[in-house]
Every structure is written in C-alpha cells, then in structure tokens.
C-alpha cells in the first residue's frame, strides 16, 4: 500500500508541474511582444581616415554611416555626392577618422584651400617676423593662443610691453595644420587680429622687436601687464620690488633746496605743494 501511495503521489506531482508549465507558456504567448524602441536614423558622411589642411577630398576618403535623425551636426552632409558633385573640395580644418565632414571644415565647391578661409568674420590675418627665440623656440603651433610683446630701445633706456593678449595663431611659416605636433623653428608667424590690432602690429614691428608668449591651453583670462624697463630689472636684482616711498626735492630760490621722503601715493601731492613761482619740486 505504501508503494502504491508513493507512485500515485509522484504521478500527481508530475501532472501538476506539467499543468503549471503549460499555463505559464500560454500566458507568455498571450502577452504582447516587447520590442526595442525604433530610433529614426539618417545617413551622414564621415571621414575614413585622418584628413589635414590642404587635402583634396576623394570618394575613398569618405563613407556614409547611420546617424540619429534627431541630432545631426550643423553643416553635415547626408551623401558623398553632395560633397563631390559640385567640384573639388579641400580640407581647411583637421578631420579625424569617423568624424562627420562639416561644411565649415572644407572649402566650397571648386575652391582652393587658402588661409583666408580660416580667418573669422571681421578679423584679419597679419604676419610678423620672428626667430627661434622670439617665436617660442618652435613650440608655438597653429591653433595655439599667444600674447605678443613689444621690446624697443628708447634713447638710453629700453622697455618691454605686452601689446596684445590671447591672440590665435593661424599659421607658422606656410603651415596652417592645427593638428601639427612637431616643433619647427619659425621665420614668421601669422596671427588673427582685428583691424586696430593689425595696425598696432604693423607700427610695433617698425619701432622694435616682437616676441611671443605661449599661453596655457584653455586659458582665456587677460592680465594687467605693466611696462617693464631696465630700472625694473635693477629693482628685481636688489630686491626692491615693493618700493613704497620716494624722495621729493623742493628748490626754493637759488642754491636752496629741501629733500622730503614721502609715500609713492603722496608724491604728486607733495609736488603740488610747491606753488610759489620760485619753487620747483622734482621726484627722485
């Protein structure tokens, strides 16, 4: 009897398990199939290899790839024929492999690659002469930002003054490739400036020497740069970088003078105190 009961028990468990599995399968079939949401896509033209300034575009350099229709980059092309059918196009700005080819990075149909195509709206390209030292030792490259310093000899004194700040470098000699990474000793540097700054550079080049200060990548702030003279160099040497007083000599009549030591901010006030026509104040 025990054996018969065990057999019927196992049979009941098997039948129950089979029924439960069939119910679960039927429920799964009755549920609607969940599918991944469909994303609308378009084709976009991308580069098949790195492209540099001056490269003429060919079909082998381009390919069409799917791209989300909701987020196309401005100026993108959907077909290779849109780029090549109108005539040859040349690369103006470096394009990496699989990067979309944008209208702003290439010339118009049939146009040649010139530096003028890289100049921003309302800006001018000005070339200044430099050497291996004035040009940043060859480490200034197209696309970098620099400050331009004017150094000149004025009779018995020399001075150095920051003329322009945060200026974009367009080209080094005849190289305008912004992805260039090899330092070269330059003979000239072409920079992008506005009209007034271009006039300043032209005048400054005729009265002194121009040199470049390479800015840290991403730095956009401008500092208040003071004019530096030989006297400032001497003060740095003797440690008198924080001079707080000066000597004012007041001359009254012939052969009579008095010396006064006053704070720098009061020097002009002391000079103004010598109001009598026979008195003359000088600052030392």
Residue-wise pLDDT for 112-155, tens only, equals 777 777 888 889 999 998 877 767 777 888 888 999 999 998 77
pLDDT tens digit sequence for 47-58: 999 998 888 899
Q: What is the pLDDT of residue 42?
A: 81
Same domain, 127 and 219: yes
What is the sign of the dihedral through the CA atoms of 124, 127, 130 and 135?
Answer: positive
The average pLDDT across 23-27 equals: 76
**Model confidence band, residue 68 (pLDDT cutoffs 50, 70, 90):** confident
Q: For position 85, which CATH number holds?
A: 3.90.1210.10
Angle at 215 between CA 212 and CA 219, to 5 degrees: 150
Q: What is the pLDDT of residue 13?
A: 72
Q: Which of 80-89, 129-138, 220-229 has the highest mean pLDDT?
A: 80-89
Statement: residue 194 has pLDDT above 90 = yes
pTM strictly above 0.85? no
Residue 212, domain extent: 117-231
Report the distance separating Cα 187 and Cα 28, nearest Å: 77
Q: Which of residues 83, 113, 143 is at a domain's end?
A: 113
Same domain, 200 and 133: yes
Of the candidates 247, 248, 256, the residue with the CA atom closest to the CA atom of residue 278: 256
Angle at 61 between CA 52 and CA 168, to 5 degrees: 20
Assess if residue 127 is contained within a domain.
Answer: yes
Statement: residue 197 has pLDDT above 90 = yes
Rg value, the chain, Cα: 38
Classify residue 208 by its DSSP letter. S
How many domains is the chain built from? 3
Q: What is the pLDDT of residue 123?
A: 92
Statement: residue 216 has pLDDT above 50 = yes
């Amino acid at each position: 009897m025990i054996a018969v009961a065990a057999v019927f028990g196992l049979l009941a468990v098997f039948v129950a398990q089979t029924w439960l599995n069939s119910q679960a399968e039927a429920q799964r079939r009755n549920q609607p199939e969940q599918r991944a949401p469909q994303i609308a896509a378009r084709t976009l033209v991308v580069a098949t290899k790195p492209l540099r300034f001056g490269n003429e575009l060919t079909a082998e350099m381009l390919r069409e790839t799917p791209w989300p229709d909701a987020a196309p980059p401005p100026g993108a092309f959907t077909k290779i024929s849109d780029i090549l059918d109108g005539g040859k196009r040349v690369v103006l700005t470096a394009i990496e492999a699989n990067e979309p080819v944008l209208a702003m990075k290439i010339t118009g149909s049939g146009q040649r690659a010139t530096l003028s195509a890289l100049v921003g709206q309302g800006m001018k390209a000005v070339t200044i002469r430099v050497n291996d030292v004035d040009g940043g030792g060859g480490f200034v490259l197209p696309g970098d930002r620099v400050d331009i310093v004017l150094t000149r000899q004025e009779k018995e004194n020399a001075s150095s003054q920051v003329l322009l700040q945060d200026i974009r470098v367009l080209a080094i000699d005849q190289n305008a490739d912004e992805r260039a990474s090899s330092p070269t000793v330059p003979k000239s540097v072409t920079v992008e400036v506005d009209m007034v700054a271009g006039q300043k550079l032209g005048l400054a080049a005729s009265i002194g020497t121009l040199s470049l200060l390479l800015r840290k990548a991403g730095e956009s702030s401008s500092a208040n740069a003071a004019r530096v003279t030989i006297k400032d160099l001497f003060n740095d040497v003797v440690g008198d970088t924080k001079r707080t007083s000066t000597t004012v000599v007041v001359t009254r009549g012939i052969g009579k003078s008095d010396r006064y030591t006053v704070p720098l901010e009061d020097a002009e006030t002391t000079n103004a105190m010598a109001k009598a026509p026979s008195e003359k104040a000088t600052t030392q």
